[in-house]
A and B are shown apart, each in its own frame.
Chain A
Amino acid sequence: QQQVKQSPQSLIVQKGGIPIINCAYENTAFDYFPWYQQFPGKGPALLIAIRPDVSEKKEGRFTISFNKSAKQFSLHIMDSQPGDSATYFCAASKGGGGNKLTFGTGTQLKVEL
């Protein structure tokens, strides 16, 4: 049972483009939605996170949009760069960032010159 569904599985954009990665969750008890970025040979690293009381959060070039009624959230990367090429995971948890995370299946992003 996949509680957090993520799409697309892979994505190729040109430098400067705006890749969008989408996630949908089932458990309405989830109240913390982070995004993690993973480079080859490294562990996932927290990129940005949102709670359901806001519909959007922006940190630098990364923006999360959150739609509570649809149980969906997405990551937008503005002015994407080749250095953004990585695997991105959405996740969800109950009770905050220190609790058990359920991860999406990951999106492999490649930003081409």
Chain B
Amino acid sequence: DTAVSQTPKYLVTQMGNDKSIKCEQNLGHDTMYWYKQDSKKFLKIMFSYNNKELIINETVPNRFSPKSPDKAHLNLHINSLELGDSAVYFCASSQASGYTFGSGTRLTVV
């Protein structure tokens, strides 16, 4: 069984569109994250939720809105997509022993 699953795996869309990425974890972790990996592979935290509450928002444009309906799910909605949003977005969950990442969503804005 997949521990952290993200959908879709690939997303190609036009500038100005709105899109969502979904994430679910079955590990029972309390904390979930969104990370962005750019073309140079740099991993940067975007958001963190602990038991459905936002605890980290790393100065991400407000076009990005995370939503956590319960502690097993953390979705990411992006409005008015821009070319610079093209990247791989990783969802992760964590407990004291470390993070478990999903396989990523490759977003391409054309």
B68 sits at the interface (CB 8 A) = no
How many chain A residues sit at the interface, stated as a range, is: 20 to 34
- Distance from A106 Cβ to chain B, minimum over Cβ atoms (Å): 5
Roughly how many angstroms separate A106 CA and B92 CA in the complex, as a whole number? Answer: 18
Contact with A along B86-103 (1 / 0, CB 8 A): 000010101111111111
Q: Distance in Å from the Cβ of B23 to the closest Cβ of chain A? A: 11
What's the nearest-Cβ distance from chain B to residue A43, in Å?
A: 3
Q: In the complex, given contacts A43-B90, A106-B41, what are 20 additional A-B residue pairs having Cβ atoms less than 8 angstroms apart?
A: A38-B41, A43-B102, A43-B104, A44-B43, A46-B97, A46-B100, A49-B98, A89-B43, A97-B98, A98-B29, A98-B94, A98-B97, A98-B98, A99-B94, A100-B33, A101-B99, A102-B45, A103-B44, A105-B41, A106-B40
Q: Name 20 interchain pairs, CB-CB below 8 A, sorted by A.
A: A34-B98, A36-B99, A43-B92, A43-B102, A97-B95, A97-B96, A97-B99, A98-B95, A98-B96, A99-B94, A101-B45, A101-B99, A103-B42, A103-B43, A103-B44, A105-B42, A106-B40, A106-B41, A106-B43, A108-B41
